[in-house]
Amino acid sequence: ETGVTQTPRHLVMGMTNKKSLKCEQHLGHNAMYWYKQSAKKPLELMFVYNFKEQTENNSVPSRFSPECPNSSHLFLHLHTLQPEDSALYLCASSAGTGVSGANVLTFGAGSRLTVL
């Protein structure tokens, strides 16, 4: 248990469905992230939130909609996804977003998404 919990662990959805991924961290961190990991590709940063304010959107399509109600919770709302969006979605948190050595990422176990 890393202190970052993601649910659901597995999700299968059709292209017309609406679903949400949830992430919760119990580490007292202030920054939270969504990453996408596709087969045979490096991790891709999607969104960064620091003190629940979005600080980075890495040109992510609008069918992915993040929500950060507080520093401990992060959601990724999904709608009208495409089959190529099938991937492992990883949530991470860090103490902050500066260059301090303390700001390393702690990842959750991921939500494996399959879009039919």
Q: How far is the CB of 84 from another protein (least distance, A)?
A: 18
Q: What is the C-alpha to C-alpha distance for residues 1 and 66, in angstroms, rounded to an integer?
A: 24
Q: How far is the CB of 16 from another protein (least distance, A)?
A: 28
Positive or negative torsion for Cα 116, 49, 60, 80: positive
CB-wise, 65 or 97, nearer to another protein?
Answer: 97
Q: How far is the CB of 42 from another protein (least distance, A)?
A: 5
| Member of 90, 93, 113, 115 binding another protein (CB under 8 A) | 90
CB-wise, 41 or 83, nearer to another protein?
Answer: 41
Q: Which residues contact 1 (CB under 8 A, 6 or more apart)?
A: none
Q: Is 110 in the site for another protein (CB under 8 A)?
A: yes
One-letter amino acid of 76: L
Q: Which of residues 32-61 bind another protein (CB under 8 A)?
A: 40-43, 45
